[in-house]
Structure 1
Amino acid sequence: MHEMSIALAVVDQVEDAARSHGASRVRTVRLRVGELAGVVPDALAFSFQLACAGTLVEGADLVTETVPGLARCAPCGDEWAVGMPPRLTCPVCDRATTELVSGRELRIAAVEWHDDPADPRVREPISEEG
């Protein structure tokens, strides 16, 4: 499952950034994920929660924005949503000389964190002992 390696990399990058800015806890991680990136959203969300354990990112919300796959035909200039499975031939001139404009992205779009450990809006992990 490559979603786990993606989640681990995201958590590592977010935690490094949060620490370098003096943050005490990460609240939200926003990702832009292209529909052609080959990522299963539920598997990524599950892996993200596991990867966060014991880090500043533990308890953070993962918000993913799906970026639609768009293609452009070089000869005629038409642009279209490629869909799934992807249609890579131009719907106007039926040529296969296309350029993918979007849909393969996988990037951290934004991170929200707290730099005050006493901030009451910071959600603490729920203890099973109490």
Structure 2
Amino acid sequence: MHELAIAQGILDIALNTAVNHNATSVLGIKVIVGELTGTVPEALEFGFVALAKGTMAENACLSIRIIPLTGHCRDCGSQSSIDKYCFVCATCGSHAVEIITGRELKVESVEVE
């Protein structure tokens, strides 16, 4: 379950942010997760809640925004969503598809008090 390692990274970033701003608690954390990462939001939230117990982030609200997997065809130039990890252009059938979105995994913001 790689979500636990990701949750630990999110918690570390949130706690470091709180310390750097002389805060007493972490109120909220916004995270961007790309579909291609294979991260299960419920598992990520569960891991975060478990790891945050007893820390300044214990009552923090974790907001997860999933970014869909999209691609750009290098042959015809069309842009479309990629369904079921099938990297074939929906317009022309080419396999020359570049990933545009869906690999993201970052903490977008941390709200502290």
In the alignment, structure 1 segments of 5+ residues that lack a partner are: 115-130
Percent identity for Structure 1 against Structure 2: 35
Q: Which residue of 2 aligns with 1:123?
A: none
Does residue 1:43 correspond to 2:43, yes or no?
A: yes
In the alignment, structure 2 segments of 5+ residues that lack a partner are: none
**SS of the counterpart of 2:27?**
strand
| Separation in 1, partners of 2:62, 2:13 | 14
TM-score, normalised with respect to structure 1? 0.84
**SS of the counterpart of 2:42?**
helix
**SS of the counterpart of 1:36?**
helix
- Between the two proteins, the alignment pairs up a number of residues equal to 113
* Equivalent runs, 1:62-73 vs 2, <5 Å: 62-73=62-73
TM-score, normalised with respect to structure 2? 0.96
Q: Which residue of 2 aligns with 1:125?
A: none
Paired letter, 2:64: T
Write the deviation string for residues 4-52 of structure 1: whole angstroms up to 9, x where unpaired.
Answer: 1110111011101110111110000110111111101110010000111
Runs of 4+, deviation exceeding 6 Å = none
Structure with more of its chain in helix, by fraction: 2
Q: CA deviation at 1:87?
A: 2.5
* Equivalent runs, 1:67-106 vs 2, <5 Å: 67-83=67-83, 85-106=84-105
Decide which structure has the larger Cα Rg and report it. Answer: 1
| CA RMSD, 1 decimal | 0.9
Does residue 1:32 correspond to 2:32, yes or no?
A: yes
| Separation in 2, partners of 1:99, 1:64 | 25
**SS of the counterpart of 1:100?**
strand
